[in-house]
Structure 1
Amino acid sequence: MRSVEEFRTGIRNWLREQLGGPFARLKGRGGPGREHEAFAARLAWERHMAAHGWTCVGWPEEYGGRGASVEEQIAFHEEYALADAPARVNHIGEHLLGPTLIAHGTDAQKARFLPPIVAVEELWCQGYSEPDAGSDLANVRTRAHLSDGRWVLNGQKVWTSLAHESHWCFVVARTRPGSRRHAGLSYLLVPMDQPGVRVRPIVQLTGTSEFNEVFFDDARTDAAHVVGEAGHGWRIAMATLGFERGVSTLGQQVGFRREFEGLVEVARRNGALAEPGVRDALVRAWTGLEAMRTHFRRGDVEPSVAKLYWAGWHRDLGELAMRIRGAASLTAESAPYELDDWQRLFLFSRADTIYAGSDEIQRNIVAERVLGLPKEVRA
């Protein structure tokens, strides 16, 4: 039986060798606010990873993974971040849909959809939020009905990450006419390349367009492409959200640490470190990072508490970066709107407290499900 350290050494050595060769130029590319960077090359990199068995490492071996333990998965994500490897393009398929299908999909769905995710041949996006149903997912209005053995969808989704690069979308839609809230929803797998699907990019504060609006106008998918029982998709949707806040977030903490250490160096160079208020703020940030690492590695943090914690910490780091850089933080690198890493951090980290469930929704979940307080009154 291999040890965690053997696993860690294996991925560390492989990354060092591969990122020192033809893929060296991809180090540090991509990431929040920079999703457009070298996308085709990063896709080729991830397919290279797949060819060497380094995608979906936490999946069971029978589905193409390595069957890695939680500790090994943590080691993988930490080493990937420490190697400054490029941002992944297949996160939604590998970490959200794949585990959902393994847990709740039919044998036919697993056989059809899991291998292309492992091979990074099909990319996925998430069709949850709508203009009137953001964090309140139960209020979705996108609807679907069966016609001649196919689901026919009509509606709109918004804030759909990387929809413009995706081949498929998993969509929460209302399939039971007259149903309300959690009842009557279904979890459908919908192909993006068809006449009934239109994608419109949303320009963000960073000037890039990771997010999109997606319009369904009589879009179609096979009747068999419903995960779980039709009309009971809420349970499946919640399972996906649980995977979204899973072990891969531990890797992002390595990125957080690198950002923090880089900011300390900026403060040292420009003299801001000599200011007592700045030193105190950096000490608080360091303490928060250490607490985050300790609790998350122990696995004793409820997912909604974890989301509140890291999102708030990262947003505060972005604000501290602007404070430390002073007037320089207000000027773009070059025309028309080229931002530096600290400006992108500040702007994009505002979204951290919104996506995957806003802070307000997370607090409701903690109050109702963890503390047992009365549920919020709904009209």
Structure 2
Amino acid sequence: MKLTFSPSDEAFRQEVRAFVMANLPTDVRRKVEFGLRLEHADYVTWFRILEARGWLTPGWPVEYGGPGWSHVQRYIFDEETMLGGAPRIIASGIQMLGPVLIAFGTPEQKAKYLPDIRQSKTWWAQGFSEPGAGSDLAAVRTTAVLEPDGRHFVVNGHKVWTSYAHWCSMMFALVRTDPNAAKPQEGISFLLIDMNSPGVQVRPIRMLEGGTDLNECYLDNVRVPVENLVGELNHGWSYGKYLLGHERTGIAGIGSCKQQLRRARALAASQGLDQDPVLQSRLAQFEIELMALEFTALRMLSDNQQSRVPAVEASMLKVRGTELRQAIYELLVEVAGPHAVPFEEAALRGELDDSASPAELSALAANYLDARKLSIYGGVNEVQRNLISKAFLAA
């Protein structure tokens, strides 16, 4: 069975494909295709190319700089940019904070922050997880106490697993503003924090493959202007759930799955395994599972889907999509065989001579190790299964 789209959507697909082919820098494409490490400048270069075309914020309304695409067009855009070797749009400001500010922010907050997000002038860190409060965000202990004059909050706490915080100048954070609330969810607020403020300290967390994309952030008596409160005081839990609905839908990574499956087929051919029946059977099984995942995602995007910020459905996509991506990375390592065993961190920076290890193989071990985090961030899959089961039992 093959997915079919309307003629206008197919024309849009060709437009996106041609744009990526013509405008994506060759060095960035090479890094993505070989699983090499992308630097901040690589993302900014591509994001500014997209913004110049009006395509960087596909989920935003037209009046705030969005392109006015349908949900299916957004899906096609994500798929074609990934298949074309482009970096995924990872900036938390674009995918997470932007929709929250548009829905709940003040006119002043929108005017101040949204343009800089679109122009990649300001990158935002996501200050949600804490030691002891990862997937259970209702247990956050970072406090924000309003000063007697009512002009500033004083924030104290510790955020962890903060992606790309070392590239960010601002953070949106869940903070506890009412420690005596009847329910823990009722005492949380959503706050915007300048990371250059006195008392903010960022420390890198070294990951399995040697990268430091993740960080921990210490907040020691950080003063935050009261106008940086998003929405109502003590209503941050609702805004956080709204944000996570957007995050988990994207974490399914259907375009990334297709990208890595294509990589696996090319690698099998280079290893002389393109006719191996067992391997081809496994690849076919992945194709079937990916198609089922894609049908599910497209059903959510259809005009008949009432919720535009899916909750349980997003958790379902997150669980299945991340597990499928991990399985494909595992297959890549198996196909590479002994060539995937050596791991040099320099390979991720593209600094190894291809004679030592072919470029398409040099980063496989690191890619596999890095993929272990997919089922953890955005809410660990075990917790997502609990949310899914509760929803169905209550239905």
Instruction: Specify the SS of the correspondent of 1:371.
Output: helix
Q: Deviation at 1:26?
A: 1.9
2:373 corresponds, among 326, 351, 376, to 351
CA distance in 2, matches of 1:201, 1:30: 23
What's 1:176 paired with?
Answer: 178
CA distance in 2, matches of 1:191, 1:64: 24
Asked if residue 194 in structure 1 is aligned to residue 205 in structure 2, the reply is: no
1:221–1:188 Cα change, 3 Å = same
Q: Would you tell me which structure has more helix in proportion to its own residues?
A: 2
What's 2:124 paired with?
Answer: 124
Q: Deviation at 1:334?
A: 7.1
1:337–1:110 Cα change, 3 Å = closer
CA distance in 2, matches of 1:243, 1:44: 24
CA distance in 1, matches of 2:42, 2:388: 41
What's 2:340 paired with?
Answer: 329
Say if 1:32 and 1:348, in contact at 8 Å, map to a contact too. no
Say if 1:199 and 1:213, in contact at 8 Å, map to a contact too. yes
Aligned CA-pair RMSD:
2.6
Matches within 5 A, 1:37-116: 37-88=38-89, 91-116=91-116
Q: Give CA deviations for 1:292-322 in whole Å, capped at 9, x if unaligned.
A: 1222122278111111101111111222222
Q: Give CA deviations for 1:205-231 in whole Å, capped at 9, x if unaligned.
A: 111111000000111221021122111
Which amino acid counterpart does residue 124 of structure 1 have in structure 2? Answer: W
Which amino acid counterpart does residue 164 of structure 2 have in structure 1? Answer: L
What's 1:377 paired with?
Answer: none
Q: Deviation at 1:267?
A: 2.8
Say if 1:30 and 1:38, in contact at 8 Å, map to a contact too. no
Instruction: Specify the SS of the correspondent of 2:184.
Output: coil
Q: Deviation at 1:33?
A: 7.6
Q: Give CA deviations for 1:251-276 in whole Å, capped at 9, x if unaligned.
A: x3222112112213323443556665
Q: Deviation at 1:42?
A: 2.9
CA distance in 2, matches of 1:111, 1:286: 44
* Count of matched residue positions in the alignment of Structure 1 and Structure 2: 365
Say if 1:142 and 1:174, in contact at 8 Å, map to a contact too. yes
What's 1:11 paired with?
Answer: 16
1:287–1:131 Cα change, 3 Å = same
Q: Deviation at 1:340?
A: 2.8
Which amino acid counterpart does residue 16 of structure 1 have in structure 2? Answer: M
CA distance in 2, matches of 1:82, 1:265: 14
Instruction: Specify the SS of the correspondent of 2:98.
Output: helix
CA distance in 2, matches of 1:8, 1:280: 29
Asked if residue 341 in structure 1 is aligned to residue 363 in structure 2, the reply is: yes
Say if 2:124 and 2:171, in contact at 8 Å, map to a contact too. yes
1:238–1:34 Cα change, 3 Å = farther
Q: Give CA deviations for 1:306-355 in whole Å, capped at 9, x if unaligned.
A: 11101111111222222222233222257798883322331111111100
Say if 2:190 and 2:239, in contact at 8 Å, map to a contact too. yes
Instruction: Give the unaligned 5+ runs of structure 1.
Output: 374-379
Instruction: Specify the SS of the correspondent of 2:224.
Output: strand
Q: Deviation at 1:28?
A: 4.2
Which amino acid counterpart does residue 229 of structure 1 have in structure 2? Answer: E
1:13–1:321 Cα change, 3 Å = closer
Give identity over the alignment, percent.
36
Q: Give CA deviations for 1:47-90 in whole Å, capped at 9, x if unaligned.
A: 2322332211331111121221112211221221222123435x
Q: Deviation at 1:9?
A: 4.0
Q: Deviation at 1:131?
A: 0.9
Q: Deviation at 1:249?
A: 5.0
CA distance in 2, matches of 1:115, 1:351: 31
Which amino acid counterpart does residue 321 of structure 2 have in structure 1? Answer: W
What's 1:208 paired with?
Answer: 211
Q: Deviation at 1:102?
A: 1.2
